[in-house]
């Protein structure tokens, strides 16, 4: 591949254009080696994209707010039918997740190996348990936990669980700062 179609950014990950549109990455976001980010993607301050993730904003757009993390091996894509992937602030997406045409509001949580399908929505402080499958068009309500394949409502989360979720995201911000210092 010619070099002009590939740039190394913020810690070692790579960005690529699609139809002339390049990803826009905040200067203090960490993009780990092996991560590949394509096309119409914007990533906000102190967010982190970990080793071997793919974020492909070609037939739609991907937006990631501030202090959110997308953990190792996850794939984020969009739906050509108009469902973009929009991630808010302080969101945690666990290892090997698949997020497709989904909106995740602030402080939302996607457990590792979970999948979200087109038109699904995770509202603020909503949690999708590890390994779950959120079917097309389904909504995890504010502060709710959903689990299983297909995922179903299990229970409301408690205050201590909200605190644990927000600590999880904050911890990733600190770890990402350390990596960025070491790798840039
Ligand atoms: C959902 C979760 C928080 C556990 O919730 P919990 O309410 O404490 O659940 P419990 O451990 O009390 O288990 C209750 C039941 O659900 C089952 N269960 C727990 N987690 C499950 C999951 N992810 N999927 C399916 N079933 C699950 C348990 O086996 C148990 O079943 P049983 O009643 O038949 O014994 C945890 O499984 C999880 O998904 N954590 C996220 C981890 C992660 O992805 N981190 C990101 C990377 S850092």
> Mutate which of 129, 131, 133, 165 to test ligand 1's pocket (most atoms within 8 Å of Cβ)?
129
pLDDT at 20: 95
Q: Whose C-alpha lies nearest to ligand 1, atom 2?
A: 129
pLDDT at 165: 86
pLDDT at 104: 98
Q: Which residues line the pocket of ligand 1, CB cutoff 6 A?
A: 71, 94-95, 111-112, 129-131, 147-148
Do residues 83 and 102 make contact, with C-beta atoms less than 8 angstroms apart? yes
Domain range annotation of the chain: 3-183
Atom of ligand 1 nearest to the CA of 71: 47
Provide the CATH number for the domain formed by 3-183 in this structure.
Answer: 2.160.10.10
Query: What digits encode the pLDDT tens for the residues 1-32?
Result: 556 789 999 999 999 999 999 999 999 999 99
Do residues 135 and 114 make contact, with C-beta atoms less than 8 angstroms apart? no
Q: Which of 68, 152, 134, 131 is closest to 55 using CA atoms?
A: 68
- What is the number of other CB atoms lying within 10 angstroms of the CB of residue 62? 26
pLDDT at 2: 55
Segments of the chain with pLDDT less than 70: 1-3
User: How far apart are alpha carbons 135 and 128 in whole angstroms?
Assistant: 12
> Mutate which of 72, 94, 130, 173 to test ligand 1's pocket (most atoms within 8 Å of Cβ)?
130
């Amino acid at each position: 591949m010619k070099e002009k179609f590939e740039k190394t950014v913020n810690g070692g990950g790579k960005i690529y254009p699609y139809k002339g549109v390049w990803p826009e990455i905040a200067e203090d976001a960490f993009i780990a080696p092996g991560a590949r980010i394509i096309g119409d993607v914007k990533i906000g301050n102190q967010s982190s994209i970990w080793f071997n993730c793919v974020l492909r904003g070609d037939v739609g757009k991907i937006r990631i707010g501030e202090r959110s993390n997308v953990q190792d091996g996850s794939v984020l894509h969009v739906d050509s039918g108009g469902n973009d992937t929009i991630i808010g602030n302080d969101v945690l997406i666990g290892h090997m997740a698949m997020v497709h045409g989904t909106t995740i509001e602030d402080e939302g949580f996607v457990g590792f190996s979970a999948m979200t399908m087109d038109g699904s929505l995770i509202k603020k402080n909503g949690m999708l348990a590890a390994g779950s499958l959120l079917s097309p068009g389904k909504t995890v309500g504010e502060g709710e936990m959903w689990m299983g394949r297909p995922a179903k409502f299990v229970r409301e989360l408690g205050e201590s669980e909200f605190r644990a979720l927000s600590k999880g995201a904050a911890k990733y911000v600190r770890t990402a700062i350390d990596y960025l210092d070491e790798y840039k």
